[in-house]
Amino acid sequence: MLKKVRELKEMLGKIGFIQKPGKGSHTNWVHPFYQRKVTISG
């Protein structure tokens, strides 16, 4: 079953990602040990 957006954001926060604002409803997530960013819409 697919995760809801809020559940995905909660999971990213628990494993150390930090939320950065994006454009519109998008949020960018960065992690100190992961070189790229993860973008979530919604």
Q: Determine the number of helices (DSSP H) and then strands (DSSP E) in the chain.
A: 1, 3
Query: What confidence tier does 7 reach under pLDDT thresholds 50, 70, 90?
Result: very high
For residue 12, pLDDT over 90 is answered with: yes
**How confident is the model over 19-34, as a mean pLDDT?**
92
For residue 42, pLDDT over 90 is answered with: no
How high is the pLDDT of residue 31?
96
How high is the pLDDT of residue 6?
92
**How confident is the model over 14-28, as a mean pLDDT?**
93
For residue 22, pLDDT over 90 is answered with: no
Residue with token string 């973008």: 39
